[in-house]
């Protein structure tokens, strides 16, 4: 343990006694070998490569020193003063024991600029050493960087395109940190979530980590320690940042980080906003994860192995995310066709939802029971203080609604828990699709429709392998419609089954995603095949169309007006070969056939998504009819009467 970066007697303070410095790295034989290899690969003089490599290391290398770390910790505690911390401390002894023998890599979800400060407080209180925290160089603001870089913050470039030296030095630096059993942390979504759910991971730094880990194993003179990846969930009762994030996702411009911005952000934290909830997922042993991914892929190809590891990490983060009262309240208030709800109507939505969550044993943040009117009023009041919810008491009952122009922000909280309910939503939609098709084999057709939805939403949700996915869907349908395998279904049967469970989820969980996708798909179908789609311009165009559709009541969910969701739709279209035309060296007749095929496939794509949107509308009508206590609600839902 002589080479341990954070010694046992310093674990309580998290202060390194033998920090890794630029000079330490430069004097190493690994650095000399890597510079020589780069010079040969790039055909550049060794002296030039050495100078650039040293410059990169000076830019990225951080240290952990006692006094700056203490200053940074005090600053972090002050900046995050809006929250008390609710942490799952039962995992900390296990993490502390692992950290004594191995490197830990903490990979949290990213919802706020406060995330690393909150996590640092939790780990420090649990007796773990300070992490080396990798963050974007856009946050390297003087004079804070004078302290931050000496408190373990590693500022890295967001883009290294056409620069072979910087990534090589990043791998080398990570390898040196792992060799000394340092603990690392970064936010692998690549930025804060814009919609509230976990974003698709960025593979760059994870790829560097995997490369560094493999290089360490290949070092004949090194006894390379194991690396454990620790998934972390951080969610907040309320967030000041949500307004700006939602505005950006709806088409607005991002406010650049600056010292003036930091002052404004700090002032906003003076109001109490509830709790920050920190949960740890099951640690993932990197060597085993890579071996499993390699076995499933058939070879060690980083392009397939690293994403498989990343998706496993994402699953574990999602499994650790608890359900907050704010998420449940916004879940109930959104997508009711603009209708405000009484307390009794809210309870009618929330009571079966809570029963479902308990049956599934989903994690909750507190012992608050929203099925009790007093607890529900308190949860509503906290969101009213944030301006997300408004109430009206001038009639016979007090009614509640999402405040005007705050639907995006409410959806941010709701989407925090969307992954917990997406299987039920897919099951509802698949049952309706099977019923509409009048298929002879209900089981096969429902499964086929569920797989189609899985593929449609694969860039939004982290679905498991088909076998595990099939089991989840079967469980959900058993809950919604016991005995469904032995019967032929009609749409009326499905609506009646949902009505009997009093639980309707499709419109609240996948409805906004599908509507955003439908806007993109229909617009894409209208484009001439020869047009080259510029992603940024096309998304802006679709945002404008979605705004018009919302104003003309053709769009049910304003949260569908989302840059993030529309980029997801384009990724799906690209994945299906529908985005840009292929370049053929053939005759005009062949090109005409190719153009017509692209037109047809785009129309089919739009039709497929629109079908899912239409089935969501059936569930929405069923939910609203139940609130209206319509005695003929099943027939009214099927006929489309609202």
pLDDT at residue 26, rounded to an integer: 94
Q: Report the range of poorest mean pLDDT among 244-253, 474-483, 627-636.
A: 627-636
Q: Is there a contact between 35 and 48 (Cβ–Cβ < 8 Å)?
A: no
Q: Is the pLDDT of residue 438 over 60?
A: yes
pLDDT value of position 487: 59
Residues with Cβ < 8 Å from 23, sequence gap 6 or more?
A: none
CATH 3.40.1130.10 maps onto the chain at 8-320
DSSP 428-459: HHHHHHHHHHT-S-HHHHHHHHHHHHHHHTTT
Token pair of 53 as six digits: 């490599």
Residue 7 has what pLDDT? Answer: 35
Please report which confidence band the pLDDT of residue 444 belongs to, taking 50, 70 and 90 as the band edges.
confident
Residue 308 to residue 294: CA distance in whole angstroms: 9
Q: Which of 499, 542, 506 is nearest to 524 (CA)?
A: 542
pLDDT confidence tier of residue 224, bands split at 50, 70 and 90: low
Quickly list DSSP for 310-332: HHHHHHHHHHHPPBPHHHHHHHH
Q: Facing residues of 280 across strands?
A: 232
- The position carrying tokens 């990213």 is 110
| Residue 449 CA, distance from chain mean position | 25
Rounded Cα distance, 553 and 441, in Å? 37
Distance CA 258, CA 277 (A): 28
pLDDT band at 14 (very low <50, low <70, confident <90, very high): very low
DSSP annotation of 296 reads H
Residue intervals of the chain classified under CATH 1.10.10.10 are 325-415
**How many helices and strands, by DSSP H and E, does the chain display?**
27, 11
Tokens of 604: 């089919």
Global pTM reads 0.88
- Under DSSP, is residue 12 helix (H, G, I), strand (E, B) or coil? coil
Work out whether strand 132-136 and strand 275-280 pair parallel, antiparallel, or are unpaired: unpaired
Look at residue 223 in the predicted model and tell me its pLDDT.
Answer: 63
> For residue 6, what pLDDT is reported?
37
- From CA 225, how far away is CA 111, in angstroms rounded? 31
Rounded mean pLDDT, 498-524: 91
Q: What angle in degrees, to the nearest 10, is found between the helix axes of 343-359 and 373-385?
A: 100
For residue 471, which phi and psi values (nearest 5 degrees)?
-65, -40
pLDDT at 227 over 80: yes
Which among 390, 337, 367 has a CA at the least distance from the CA of 625?
337
Q: 305: burial class by Cβ within 10 Å (0-12, 13-18, 19+)?
A: buried
Least confident of 123-132, 326-335, 345-354, 483-492: 483-492
> pLDDT band for position 616 (50/70/90)?
very high
* Residue 500, pLDDT score: 75
d(CA 631, CA 66): 70
- Check whether 139 has a pLDDT greater than 80: no
pLDDT at 580 (0 to 100)? 78
pLDDT band for position 513 (cuts 50, 70, 90): very high
Distance CA 344, CA 334 (A): 16
Euclidean distance between CA atoms 230 and 245, whole angstroms: 27
Residue 220's alpha-carbon distances to 36, 196, 224, 601, 633, in angstroms, are 19, 45, 9, 54, 73
Among candidate residues 81, 76, 176, 156, the one with its CA nearest the CA of residue 121: 76
Superfamily of domain 8-320: Glycerol-3-phosphate (1)-acyltransferase (3.40.1130.10)
Helix (H) / strand (E) containing 285:
strand 284-285
325-415 CATH fold = Arc Repressor Mutant, subunit A (1.10.10)
Q: Residue 301 is encoded by which pair of tokens? A: 């190809």
pLDDT at 424: 93
What pLDDT does residue 104 have? 96
Question: What's the whole-number mean pLDDT along residues 545-573?
Answer: 94
Dump the DSSP string for 66-125: HHHHHHHHHHHHHHTTT-EEEE-GGGHHHHHHHHTTSEEEEEE----TTHHHHHHHHHHH
Q: Which of 68-72, 455-459, 487-491, 499-503 has the highest mean pLDDT?
A: 455-459
Phi, psi of 103 (to 5 degrees): -85, 135
How many percent of the chain have pLDDT more than 70? 88
pLDDT higher than threshold 90 for residue 475: no
Tokens for 581, please give them: 């035309």
CA–CA distances in Å: residue 194 to residues 111, 251, 254, 408: 8, 11, 11, 10
pLDDT, tens only, 281-332: 999 999 888 888 777 766 667 778 888 899 999 999 999 999 999 999 999 9
Angle formed at CA 637 by CA 395 and CA 607, multiple of 5 degrees: 120
Least confident of 219-233, 401-415, 512-526: 219-233
Residue whose C-alpha is closest to residue 49's, from 152, 165, 196: 165
Report in angstroms the alpha-carbon separations of 191 from 194, 311, 312, 604.
9, 17, 19, 34
Q: CA dist 419 to 211, 315, 316, 515, Å?
A: 31, 10, 12, 18
Residue 37: its H or E element: helix 29-42
The per-residue pLDDT for range 399-409, each reduced to its tens digit, is 999 998 899 99
Measure the N-to-C terminal CA separation of the chain; round to a whole number of Å.
70
Rounded-to-10 torsion of CA 88, 363, 110, 135: 30
Residue 413 near residue 322, CB atoms below 8 Å? no
């Amino acid at each position: 343990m002589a080479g341990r970066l954070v010694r046992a007697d310093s674990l309580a303070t998290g202060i390194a006694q033998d920090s890794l410095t630029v000079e330490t790295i430069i004097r190493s034989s690994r650095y000399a070998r890597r510079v020589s290899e780069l010079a040969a690969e790039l055909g550049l003089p060794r002296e030039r490569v050495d100078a650039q490599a040293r410059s990169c290391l000076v830019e990225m290398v951080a240290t952990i020193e006692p006094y700056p770390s203490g200053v940074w910790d005090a600053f972090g505690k002050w900046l995050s003063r809006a929250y008390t911390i609710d942490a799952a401390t039962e995992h900390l002894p296990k993490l502390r024991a692992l950290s004594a023998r191995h490197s830990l890599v903490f990979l949290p979800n990213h919802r706020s600029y406060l995330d690393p400060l909150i996590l640092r407080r939790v780990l420090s209180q649990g007796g773990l050493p300070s992490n080396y925290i990798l963050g974007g160089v856009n946050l390297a603001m003087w004079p804070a960087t004078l302290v931050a870089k000496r408190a373990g913050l590693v500022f890295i470039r967001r883009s290294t395109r056409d620069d072979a030296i910087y990534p090589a030095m990043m791998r080398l630096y990570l390898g040196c940190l792992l060799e000394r059993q340092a603990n690392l942390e970064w936010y692998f979504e690549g930025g804060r979530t814009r919609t509230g759910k976990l974003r698709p991971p960025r593979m760059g730094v994870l790829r560097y980590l995997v490369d560094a880990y493999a290089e360490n194993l290949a070092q004949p003179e090194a006894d390379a320690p194991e690396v454990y990846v620790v998934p972390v969930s951080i969610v907040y009762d309320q967030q000041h940042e949500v307004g700006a994030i939602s505005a950006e996702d709806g088409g607005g411009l991002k406010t650049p980080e600056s010292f003036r911005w930091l002052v404004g952000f700090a002032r906003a934290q003076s109001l109490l906003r509830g709790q920050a909830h920190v949960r740890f997922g099951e640690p993932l042993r990197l060597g085993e994860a890579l071996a499993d991914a390699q076995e499933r892929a058939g070879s060690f190809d980083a392009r397939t192995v690293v994403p498989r590891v990343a998706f496993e990490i994402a699953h574990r983060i999602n499994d650790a995310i608890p359900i907050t009262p704010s998420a449940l309240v916004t879940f109930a208030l959104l997508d009711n066709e603009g209708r405000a709800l009484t307390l009794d109507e809210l309870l009618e939505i929330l009571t079966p939802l809570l029963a479902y969550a308990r049956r599934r044993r989903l994690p909750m943040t507190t012992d608050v029971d929203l099925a009790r009117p007093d607890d529900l009023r308190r949860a509503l009041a906290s969101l009213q203080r944030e301006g997300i919810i408004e109430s009206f008491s001038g009639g016979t009952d007090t009614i509640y609604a999402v405040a005007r122009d705050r639907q995006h922000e409410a959806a941010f909280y709701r989407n925090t828990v969307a992954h917990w309910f997406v299987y039920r939503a897919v099951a509802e939609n698949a049952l309706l699709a099977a019923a509409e098709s009048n298929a002879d084999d209900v089981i096969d057709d429902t499964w086929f429709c569920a797989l189609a939805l899985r593929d449609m939403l694969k860039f939004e949700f982290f679905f498991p392998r088909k076998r595990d996915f099939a089991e989840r869907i079967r469980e959900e349908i058993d809950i919604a419609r016991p005995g469904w395998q032995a019967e032929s279904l009609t749409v009326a049967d499905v609506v009646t089954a949902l009505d009997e469970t009093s639980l309707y989820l499709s419109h609240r969980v996948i409805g906004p995603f599908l509507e955003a996708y439908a806007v993109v798909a229909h617009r894409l179908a209208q484009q001439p095949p020869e047009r080259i789609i510029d992603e940024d311009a096309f998304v802006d165009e679709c945002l404008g169309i979605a705004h018009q559709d919302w104003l003309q009541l053709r769009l049910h969910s304003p949260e569908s007006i989302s840059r993030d969701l529309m980029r997801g739709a384009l990724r799906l279209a690209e994945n299906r070969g529908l985005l840009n035309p292929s370049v053929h060296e053939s005759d005009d007749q062949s090109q005409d056939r190719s153009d017509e095929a692209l037109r047809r496939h785009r129309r089919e794509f739009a039709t497929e998504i629109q079908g899912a949107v239409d089935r969501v509308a059936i569930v929405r009508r069923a939910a609203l009819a139940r609130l209206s206590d319509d005695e003929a609600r099943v027939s009214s839902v099927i006929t489309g009467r609202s």
